[in-house]
Structure 1
Amino acid sequence: MSQLKKGAILNYTTIFLTNVVGILMTPFILNKLGKEEYGIYITVGALVGTISLLDFGLNNTVTRFVAKYRAEKKQKEEENFLATTMLIYLVISLIITLIGIGFYGYLDNYFTKMDSDQIKIAQTIYVIFIFNLAVGLPGGALTGICYGYETFVFPKSLNIARYIMRSITVVAILSLGGKSIALVIIDSIFNLLIILTTAFYIFNNLKVKIKLHQLSLKFIKEIFSYSTWIFVFALVALFQWKAGHWVLGRIALPSVLTIYGVGIALGTYYGAFSSAISSVFLPRATKMAVNNASGEELTTMMIKIGRISFIILMYILGAFILFGNQFVYLWVGKELGIEGSHEIWIIALIIMIGLTIPLIQYFGTSVLEAQGRIAFKAIIYLIFLIIGTIIGAYFAKQYEGIGMVLCSVLGMVAAQFCLNFYYAKVVKINILRFFKEVFNKTFFVIILIVTISNSFNYISSSYGWINFLLKAVSYSLVYIVSIYYFGMIKSEKRLFSTPIEKIINKLKK
């Protein structure tokens, strides 16, 4: 099996671990830290994460340029590029440190709803996070070098090992009485170990050399010109999921920050598996773009991928609408109470609904990347998300996390609405045909499934895990059988049935 295929498998493994372990660990960490300290922990992390934008997308740029120079067999240029990049990272780390020092003294004025003890915790966590970032950003370039050398197994396996070991260590430390400061120290230690291990690998196994032959401003401009749109998309992600932390951190109690942070995390888990499936089709989109595929051909492919994503997403969304409130209460209700868990459910539900259309149209993003037209999406999303954040800051004063997330998601929906016009007018994707064929037959079957499955909520007055699992299993059976026989077309049925038939045939042998 090639490095690429192994890397893809490890990538899906990472996505699975991140989501499943994240869901399992959240109530444990929340229980050990308490809702106030947990809110401080995730909010300070989000604030420091903002400074990580100073990376300017250089990690991706490292991968691109290293791969380019290796393909062209330009060893000297590769050495010079890596040396120049490390000098840039040195400057970035210095800037991060200076910004960190400058904002440190402002923390007590920024977090207006925290008491003196909570401010001290926030300040300590902040300092460690800044150190982590100043060291971690240059370290991330080492992973980019591995990818540039088409070596995917080692860095991805190392990341999985780090994630597992980190989770085990967190459980052990928190069980022994550790708190949020211990968590960030653990992360710092693991980050340093990863950086040192990766450095040893690239110098010892890949024989990478870093040597400055010539420092050229023109070359530095070329590096940053490539990373510009990566940086803009990092800004988009920032305003999508972290801007609310800035706003609420200023005006809300730590317990509100916890509810908002957990709701955001749960909502973003929704699209992880769909994105993993859709991202596989980027090479297909690139090939179609190179071959000058027509708008109708692109539409057909977008429909095929969109329908698969839609079926998967509607299974998750339908279950969350019906039983999500119960799940969240069982998940974190002990720590946050009925009202807190209900707010988390609403925040996550708003995000899931808002993400649905962008996720089923993910192939369109792949087409934009392949055609070199990604700038429009970056700009339009950034504009509307900034507007959403500004309006959200106003509504957050009264409606807290729900007001904040609703405005952010509406900004995202407005951006996607504009993007559909761009797909239709510029890329020549038939958007009306897309929605008609994606929703055709399947949408009404899903409405019927959700309506029927809602009756499961009245079977028993129990509200425990066994009751939830019985509902979930019953819903899953109804959904799978109904969608397969009434909501799928023949090609989709083959896509799902063929792997099962192969497994059965192997078992028979």
Structure 2
Amino acid sequence: MNQRKLGILLSYLNIALHAVIGFLYVPILLHFIGKSEYGLYQLMGSLIAYFSIMDFGLSAAVIRFYAKYRALKDSIGMENILAISVRGYGAVTVLALAIGFICYGFLDVIFAGSMTVSEVAEAKQIFLLLLFNIVITLSTMVFRSVINAHERFFFLKGMETIQLVLQPVLVVLVLQRHPSAFSVAAVQTVLNLVLSGARVYYCFHDLHVKIHFHYWNHELFSEFKKLALSVFAVSLIDQVFWKTNQIILGIISGTAAVAVYSIASLIYMNYMALSTAISGVYLPHVTGMVARKEPISNLSELFIQIGRWQYYLLALVATGFIIFGKQFISLWAGPGFEDSYIITLLIILPFTVDLIQNIGLAIMQAMNRYDFRARIYFLTGVLNLLLAIPLGIKYGGIGCAVATGISMIVGNGFIMNWYYAKEIHLAIASFWRQIGRISLVTGVCLVIGYAANMYLLPQRGIGPFVLKTAMYTALYMVMIYVFAMNRTEREKIQATFRKLHIH
């Protein structure tokens, strides 16, 4: 099995682990530290997440250019681009620290109206710890990018698996003696420090990476800067979509409202991971295709092929959540989180359009045309912010989710599809015809599943929930295989079963 397929499988293993662990982990956290402390931890996490974008898009640029030189077997170029990148990461790490300390001084003012004095004091402690965590991440990010560019996904995703398993175990052990949001942040930071060190060791010991400055290339720097700043701009607006709503709610409504929105956030971030598990490993491959100047028809074929597989999976989760989401949230988080169901749906349904096309983002990065995405994403982010503040004040978390959903369907949906078709020349019309035919099958599954859940199997509880979701998954898989998949996709499924010796 090649590293790309292995990376996808490990990504899905991590997603499954994340879902299972999250199902157990969040109620345990709520039990140990309570709703307010959990909301405080999520609020500080949302605030500090802005510092993660201070990578300034360097990671994507390193992967793109390092993979390009690797495809061209240019070892001098590989060493040179890493030397330039290390200097860049050093600068942004210092900048992150400086801005972090400035923000730290204003936390009292920002949250004075919605938090108690003790909550503000603890928030400041958590903020400093998470800031240190970000510094660790930024200063070693270049090594993660190198491992990605070498397509060593077994190690890269394996480290993520270790973190997924170890972190909740260590957190629970620590919380038994020190039940606080600060303890959660401390465990997260220590584990990140250890795993970051392991990535650095792997790069030098196993990949034999060399970092050496050979020459200054102004044209290369211009291209590198263009891609890096474009990815940075998109990352900045990502925080508007995924974190600012929680900060708005924290300011106007307090930590309880943030906790409700955070439950929805955990669900839609896992939903996003289902898609990026596939597309996330394809940037080095797509960069190689572009470097070799393969025809656009090959890229269109890849775009449609990956999009179909992503849609099969996302449509299962989306329709399943429509049917069983209320029961899931009730079983998982308990009472008081009912709004999380509506918030989740308002975001994941329009978000699906973007997620089944995100291989297009890798194509744009490989072509170094990501600046258009940055400009459109900026405008849609501004739209989200302008809508989220008044809607959040009037309707709380649901209002913020409406703002995000509208913004995504306009920017990531209509405008990006126009660009893919007219400027990149991908076969968008063919893509949507195929997605439309698949949607007819998923629609039938949704109607059958919803009716069965409401009228034939209305029982509640963990046992009936697991049984019903398993039955719906089986129904969906059979319907998709028989009525939606094309011959090539069926042959891939059959080949996989033969390799597993399943008859």
TM-score norm. by structure 2 comes to: 0.87
Q: Distance in 2 between matches of 1:18 and 1:58?
A: 27
**Cα pair distance change 1:436/1:93, threshold 3 Å:** closer
Q: Secondary structure at the match of 1:178?
A: coil
Instruction: List per-residue Cα deviations over 1:84-133 (Å, max 9, x = no partner).
Output: 54444333333222222222221122122111121111111011111222
Which segment drifts farther, 461-470 or 64-73?
64-73
**Cα pair distance change 1:287/1:330, threshold 3 Å:** same
Map 1:299-378 → 2, pairs under 5 A: 302-333=303-334, 337=335, 340-378=336-374
Q: Secondary structure at the match of 2:338?
A: helix
**Cα pair distance change 1:82/1:397, threshold 3 Å:** same
Q: Does 1:450 align with 2:435?
A: no
Map 1:61-460 → 2, pairs under 5 A: 61-64=61-64, 71-74=73-76, 78=79, 82=82, 85-111=85-111, 112-147=113-148, 151-208=152-209, 224-279=225-280, 283=285, 287=289, 290-294=293-297, 302-333=303-334, 337=335, 340-415=336-411, 416-440=413-437, 442-453=438-449, 454-459=451-456
Deviation at 1:8, TM superposition (A): 4.8
2:24 alignment partner in structure 1: 24
Q: Match for 1:437: what amino acid?
A: Q
Unaligned runs of 5+ in 2: none
Q: Match for 2:24: what amino acid?
A: L
Q: Distance in 2 between matches of 1:457 and 1:446?
A: 18
Q: Distance in 2 between matches of 1:147 and 1:485?
A: 36
Deviation at 1:54, TM superposition (A): 1.9
Q: Distance in 2 between matches of 1:185 and 1:435?
A: 46
**Matched-pair contact (CA < 8 Å) for 2:272–2:355:** yes
RMSD in angstroms over aligned alpha carbons?
3.2
Q: Match for 1:342: what amino acid?
A: E
Deviation at 1:82, TM superposition (A): 4.7
Q: Secondary structure at the match of 2:114?
A: coil
Q: Distance in 2 between matches of 1:21 and 1:451?
A: 30
Q: Match for 2:399: what amino acid?
A: G
1:34 alignment partner in structure 2: 34
Q: Distance in 1 between matches of 2:37 and 2:328?
A: 23
TM-score norm. by structure 1 comes to: 0.86
Sequence identity, in percent? 29
**Cα pair distance change 1:369/1:254, threshold 3 Å:** same
Deviation at 1:218, TM superposition (A): 9.2
Deviation at 1:315, TM superposition (A): 1.7
Which segment drifts farther, 229-238 or 85-94?
85-94
**Matched-pair contact (CA < 8 Å) for 1:310–1:360:** yes
Q: Distance in 2 between matches of 1:182 and 1:435?
A: 48
**Cα pair distance change 1:67/1:127, threshold 3 Å:** same
**Matched-pair contact (CA < 8 Å) for 2:319–2:446:** yes
**Cα pair distance change 1:213/1:452, threshold 3 Å:** closer
1:484 alignment partner in structure 2: 481
Q: Match for 1:73: what amino acid?
A: S
**Matched-pair contact (CA < 8 Å) for 2:296–2:426:** no
**Cα pair distance change 1:348/1:205, threshold 3 Å:** same
Q: Match for 2:293: what amino acid?
A: V
Instruction: List per-residue Cα deviations over 1:152-172 (Å, max 9, x = no partner).
Output: 544443332233222210121
Deviation at 1:187, TM superposition (A): 1.5
Q: Match for 1:319: what amino acid?
A: G
**Cα pair distance change 1:443/1:146, threshold 3 Å:** closer
Deviation at 1:502, TM superposition (A): 4.8
Deviation at 1:12, TM superposition (A): 4.0
How many pairs align? 496
Deviation at 1:444, TM superposition (A): 3.1
Q: Secondary structure at the match of 1:462?
A: coil
Q: Distance in 2 between matches of 1:466 and 1:150?
A: 41
**Matched-pair contact (CA < 8 Å) for 2:45–2:130:** yes
**Matched-pair contact (CA < 8 Å) for 2:8–2:278:** no
Instruction: List per-residue Cα deviations over 1:198-225 (Å, max 9, x = no partner).
Output: 3444445555555678899998767534
Q: Distance in 1 between matches of 2:415 and 2:261?
A: 28
**Matched-pair contact (CA < 8 Å) for 1:286–1:367:** no
Q: Distance in 1 between matches of 2:135 and 2:110?
A: 22
Which segment drifts farther, 418-427 or 407-416?
418-427
Q: Secondary structure at the match of 1:74?
A: helix
Unaligned runs of 5+ in 1: none
Instruction: List per-residue Cα deviations over 1:393-436 (Å, max 9, x = no partner).
Output: 11100111111121012111001211222233223345444323
Instruction: List per-residue Cα deviations over 1:235-257 (Å, max 9, x = no partner).
Output: 23222211212322221210100
Q: Distance in 2 between matches of 1:378 and 1:363?
A: 16
Q: Secondary structure at the match of 2:115?
A: coil
Deviation at 1:286, TM superposition (A): 6.3
Q: Match for 2:455: what amino acid?
A: Y
Q: Distance in 2 between matches of 1:202 and 1:280?
A: 18
Q: Does 1:470 align with 2:467?
A: yes
**Cα pair distance change 1:365/1:490, threshold 3 Å:** same
Q: Distance in 2 between matches of 1:351 and 1:194?
A: 32
**Cα pair distance change 1:455/1:13, threshold 3 Å:** closer
Q: Match for 1:270: what amino acid?
A: Y
